[in-house]
Amino acid sequence: MMKNIAVVLSYDGTNFNGWQIQKNGPSIQESMEDAIFHLLKQKVHVSGVGRTDSGVHARRYVANFHADCTIPMDRLPYALNSFLPEDIAVSGAVEVPEDFDARFNCTKKEYAYYLFPSTLRDPFHARYAYRYNYPLDITKMQEGAQYFVGKQDFASVRSQGTPVKSTVRTIFWCEVEPVDDLIRIRVCGDGFLYNMVRAIAGTLTYVGGGKLAPKQVRDVLLACDREQAGPTLPACGLFMNRLWYDDTPELDRFRLSD
Amino acid sequence: MMKNIAVVLSYDGTNFNGWQIQKNGPSIQESMEDAIFHLLKQKVHVSGVGRTDSGVHARRYVANFHADCTIPMDRLPYALNSFLPEDIAVSGAVEVPEDFDARFNCTKKEYAYYLFPSTLRDPFHARYAYRYNYPLDITKMQEGAQYFVGKQDFASVRSQGTPVKSTVRTIFWCEVEPVDDLIRIRVCGDGFLYNMVRAIAGTLTYVGGGKLAPKQVRDVLLACDREQAGPTLPACGLFMNRLWYDDTPELDRFRLSD
């Protein structure tokens, strides 16, 4: 019997060319479609909550696909994992209504960006945080981060990519906090422009390093000019961190520890 | 002027065939000797505190070499790192007495072994912890761990390797504790037999899983029979964690966060 199945997964994006199938290089989407093909002998299209760029990680990602599947939902993660590489893991699966779509049903997304402020490298952070060579004032970053919150035009912190109708988005929170020897920036919104979180993180390094006063973040956003904001930081520090599906709260059961 | 230089380093061992130079496959020792050659134009022998097996990590490792070096010691880590791959990082360097030897001057070593008790995979633990498919009782493991402490014959928890004069070693502590969703076993001793920590960790999974009562660890050790103990767990969970040099306490300054 055909089912619409939503899966919760996580992946270390280091060795992938992002979520979406690419001509050259492995993608998470392709790995998922291959695993489903090996398990169910069906060629399916797996829809993801969004594209992630090459090297970006996901602590939590939701995708869905339509397939004829008799494997119980609580066994499906184990079955799929046996056909997936070590850097991708499915942690949950639920049958969802026919019209559920991982992208369109997602109501809120949270990304996390990790900075490692250190002149010296640490091999255990190399894959998962961006090393920043200069000191960062966390208090100033926390103050500056608040200016990103709200319904605003985010044209200053996006890269050119697929054309979008509007550059207005709503950011619900933007929190900066120390986590061990790292600084974690968590940004939650109803949607994100291309490279938006990496540009927000880059702007916050300007604030933390004293190039911009915290309150100048407001002016940067009002300018709607990419040149006024900080740089787009590297992909390695970025994680898709948490997703909300208001109509399908059971997807939250499979949340990994933060 | 010739100097004896001790360096503190850390490495992610996933992609190396261990510390020692091997005919096939990269080693940390070879990477270090190459970096020194590129930097100082001198072929040197780098002596490490000990061999680590293929895939074993080091949060802290000490090595020394004799070279003609005019680079100040506080700059040397940065200079060496620029010639090292991302998965090896030097965090400190000190000039030590002519007769200092990273191996023989080390008075105490601590290893850490990380277990991830979960039926489901987590891609962010795959490189750094051994996933254990069954529940583990931490309290029992803590009780069983205490039997490894003291000056004893550890023949039951070693693999055959280079012949040794004696299988008696002194273990100062063996601590089991939860760290986030992992279980960390830290073992500190004056020396270790081949695969000893991985066999201690394997024996503690027997205790945590109920195959052995905590107090039976004592009998396992008294038997001096490898068959009585638990399995040698995989290399990925093992870290050289901390080293003590009583004559050169300044080496401890470069300790990374735990």
Residues A86 and A136 both lie in one domain? no
**Low-confidence stretches of chain B (pLDDT beneath 50):** 258
Within 8 A of A89 by CB-CB distance, chain B residues are 120-123
The confidence band for A256, taking pLDDT boundaries of 50, 70 and 90, is low
Domain with residue B208: its CATH number is: 3.30.70.660
Residue B39 Cα, gap to closest chain A Cα (Å): 18
Residue of A11, A120, A180 to mutate for B, most B C-beta atoms under 10 A: A120
List the one residue out of B119, B158, B149, B152 whose CA is nearest residue B135: B119
Position A131 scores a pLDDT of: 97
Chain B residue with CA closest to A131: the answer is B86
The first and second tokens of residue B130, run together, are 């051994």
Task: Look at residue A248 and tell me if it is in a domain.
Answer: no
Question: Among this protein's residues, is B53 annotated catalytic?
Answer: yes
Which one of B10, B77, B123 has the shortest CB-CB distance to A86? B123
Inter-chain touch B180–A257, beta carbons under 8 Å: yes
Bridge-partner residues for A68, per DSSP? A2
Residue entry with tokens 């829809």 = A47
Contact present, A6 and A248 (Cβ < 8 Å): yes
Identify whether residues A50 and A117 lie together within a single domain.
no
Domain at B67, CATH number? 3.30.70.580
Would B130 be classed as within a structural domain? yes
- Is the domain of B72 the same as that of B123? no
Cα B253 to Cα A180, B93, B185, B188, B241, distances in angstroms: 18, 10, 24, 19, 14
Are residues B10 and A124, on separate chains, in Cβ contact within 8 Å? yes
Residues A200 and A164 placed together within one structural domain of the fold: yes
In this structure, is residue B55 part of a structural domain? yes
Residues recorded for chain B = 258
Q: Which two tokens stand for residue B73?
A: 């010691």
Q: A256 lies in a domain?
A: no
Examine the domain organization and report whether B80 and B175 are in the same domain. Answer: no
Distance from CA of B233 to the nearest CA of A (A): 18
What integer pLDDT is reported at residue B256 of this predicted model?
Answer: 54
Characterize the bridge pairing of strands A130-132 and A108-117.
Answer: parallel
- Note whether B184 and B176 are within 8 A (CB): yes
Q: What 3-state class would DSSP assign to A241?
A: strand
One domain, residues A97 and A158: no
Claim to verify: residue A115 and residue A95 sit in the same structural domain: no
Q: Which position has the higher pLDDT, B253 or A155?
A: A155
Answer yes or no: do A138 and A182 share one domain: yes
Please report the pLDDT score of residue A248 as a whole number: 85
| Cβ pair A130, A236 in contact under 8 A | yes
| Residue A36 pLDDT > 90 | yes
Q: With bands split at pLDDT 50, 70 and 90, how would you rate the model's confidence at A1?
A: confident
Q: Give the chain A residue whose CA is nearest to the CA of B121.
A: A89
Q: Which of B59, B74, B105 is the last residue of a domain?
A: B105
A15 phi and psi angles, rounded to 5 deg: -100, 15
pLDDT digits over B26-51, tens only? 999 999 999 999 999 999 999 999 98
Rounded to whole angstroms, the Cα distance separating B217 from B145 reads: 8
3-state class (DSSP) for residue B81 = helix
The pLDDT score that the predictor gives to residue B122 is: 95
- What distance in Å separates the CA atoms of residue B144 and residue B51, rounded to the nearest whole number? 28
A112 and A235 both lie in a single domain: yes
| Cβ atoms of B233 and B51 closer than 8 Å | no
pLDDT of residue A99: 95
Q: Identify the pLDDT of residue B233.
A: 98
Structure confidence at residue B136 (pLDDT):
97
**What pLDDT score does B252 carry?**
76
Domains identified in chain B, total number: 2
Which of B59, B85, B105 terminates a domain? The answer is B105
User: What region, left, alpha or beta, does residue A180 occupy, with left being phi > 0 and alpha being psi -120 to 50 degrees?
Assistant: left
The alpha carbon of residue B198 and the mean position of all alpha carbons in its chain are separated, in whole angstroms, by 10
Residue A185 near residue A202, CB atoms below 8 Å: no
Interface A-B: count of C-beta contacts within 8 A: 59
pLDDT tens digits, A186-227? 999 999 999 999 999 999 999 999 999 999 999 999 999 999
* Positive or negative: CA dihedral B188, B190, B194, B199: negative
Burial (CB count within 10 angstroms: exposed 0-12, middle 13-18, buried 19+), residue B61: buried
Residue B84 is assigned to a structural domain of this protein = yes
Q: How far is CA A85 from CA A27, A78, A155, B242, in A?
A: 11, 13, 37, 32
**Separation of alpha carbons B88 and B15, rounded Å:** 11
Burial B12-22 (b: 16+ CB within 10 A, else e): bbbebbbbbbe
Q: Is residue A247 included in any domain, yes or no?
A: no
Chain B residue with minimum CA distance to A86: B123
In the block, tokens 């004799």 appear at B66
Question: Pick the catalytic residue: B53, B101, B190, B219?
Answer: B53
How many other CB atoms are found less than 10 A from the CB of residue B178?
10
Block residue for tokens 């392709």: A30
Mean pLDDT of A177-181: 95
Asked whether the beta carbons of residue A124 and residue B121 sit closer than 8 angstroms, the reply is no
Confidence of residue A255 (pLDDT cuts 50, 70, 90): low
Residue A258 has pLDDT above 60, yes or no: no
Q: Are A257 and A91 in contact (CB under 8 A)?
A: no
Identify whether residues B120 and B230 lie together within a single domain.
yes
Structural domain harbouring B11: 2-105
Point out the domain boundary residue: B105, B138, B169: B105
Q: Whole-angstrom distance between the N-terminal and C-terminal Cα of chain B?
A: 36
| Inside any domain, residue A170 | yes
Please indicate, yes or no, if residue B147 is contained in any of the structural domains: yes
A81/B120 CB distance under 8 A? yes
Residues A157 and A234 in one domain: yes
Residue A58's Cβ-side half-sphere holds a number of Cα atoms within 13 Å equal to 30
Q: Are residues A232 and A183 in the same domain?
A: yes
